[in-house]
A and B are shown apart, each in its own frame.
Chain A
Amino acid sequence: MAYFLQLVFAGAAQGCIYALIGLGFSIIFKASQVINFAQGELLLVGTYVVASAVLNWHLPFLLALPLGLLVTIVIGLLFERLVLRRMIGRPPFTVLMITIGLDIILRTLVIVGWGSRTIPAATPFAITSGFNVAGVHLGSSDLWTLGVTVVLCAALYYFFRHTRYGLAMRATALDQEAALAMGIDVRNVYALAWGLAAAITTLGGVLLAIDSLAIDPNFGNAALVAFPAIILGGLDSVSGAVVGGVIIGLTSVLTAGYESRLPAVVGTGLHEVTPYLIMILILMIRPYGLFGSRKVERV
Chain B
Amino acid sequence: MVTKRFLFACILILLAGLPILAGCAGSSTSSSSGGLKAGPGVDLNKKTITLGILSPYSGPVAGPVGIPIANGVKAFFYHVNDHGGINGFKVQFIEQDTQYSPQLEVQKYNQIRNQVLMIADSLGTQPTFAIKDLAAADHMLVSAATLSSALAREKYLILVGTPYRLQVENAFDYVVNKLGVKNPATAIIYQNDDYGQDGLTGYREAVSVYHLHDVAQVSFAVNDTDFTAQVAQLKASGAKYVFMTTLPTATATIIATAYKLGYNPQWILQSPAFSIQLLAVPALKPLISRAWVVSQGAAWGDTSVPGMAQMLQDQAKYFPKQQPDGYFEFGYAESYVTYAILKKAMDNGDLTRDGLFRAFESLQSVDMGGLLPPAHYGSTPDQRVPTRDSVIYQVDATQPAGVKPISSDFTGVAAQQSHF
Contact = CB atoms under 8 A, between A and B. Distances in A.
Do these two chains really belong together in a complex? yes
B226 interface: yes
Interface string B47-89: 0000000000011111110000000000000000000000000
Given A137-B262, A212-B225, A118 B278 contact: yes
A7 B228 contact: yes
Given A10-B229, A256-B229, A272-B192, A120 B217 contact: no
B221 interface: yes
Given A111-B59, A214-B284, A269-B221, A254 B229 contact: yes
A225 B256 contact: no
A215 B253 CA distance: 10
B232 A3 contact: yes
A94 interface: no
A211 B230 CA distance: 15
B280 A119 contact: yes
Nearest to B281: A120
B419 to A, nearest CB: 23
B191 to A, nearest CB: 10
A139 B63 CA distance: 33
A217 B63 CA distance: 11
Interface string A1-20: 00100110011011000000
Interface residues of B, number: 43
Given A127-B287, A137-B260, A271-B221, A216 B60 contact: yes
Given A214-B253, A269-B221, A111 B228 contact: no
Contact of A118 (B58, B64, B225, B261): B64
A276 B252 CA distance: 27
Contacts of B228: 6-7, 10-11, 14, 253, 257
B229 A118 contact: no
A256 B225 CA distance: 12
B219 to A, nearest CB: 6
A254 B262 CA distance: 20
B256 A213 contact: yes
Interface in A213-232: 213-219, 221-222, 224-225
A117 interface: yes
A111 B63 CA distance: 9
* Chain A interface extent, by class: 35 or more
Contacts, number: 129
B374 to A, nearest CB: 32
Given A118-B64, A118-B278, A260-B218, A127 B283 contact: yes
A280 to B, nearest CB: 18
A256 B277 CA distance: 28
A82 to B, nearest CB: 26
A137 B262 CA distance: 9
A127 B256 contact: yes
Given A14-B226, A117-B275, A120-B280, A212 B233 contact: no
A151 interface: no
B180 interface: no
Contacts of B192: 268-269, 272
Given A3-B232, A214-B278, A257-B232, 6 more contacts: A7-B228, A117-B63, A137-B260, A137-B261, A211-B225, A214-B253
17 contacts: A6-B261, A7-B229, A10-B232, A116-B59, A116-B60, A117-B64, A117-B277, A120-B283, A123-B283, A127-B256, A137-B260, A208-B225, A212-B225, A212-B249, A216-B249, A253-B226, A253-B228
Interface of A: 3, 6-7, 10-11, 13-14, 108, 111, 115-121, 123, 126-128, 130, 137, 139, 208, 211-219, 221-222, 224-225, 253-257, 260, 268-269, 271-272
Interface of B: 58-64, 192, 216-221, 223-226, 228-230, 232-233, 236, 248-249, 252-253, 256-257, 259-262, 275, 277-278, 280-284, 287
The 3 closest A-B CB pairs, nearest first, are A256-B229, A10-B228, A116-B63
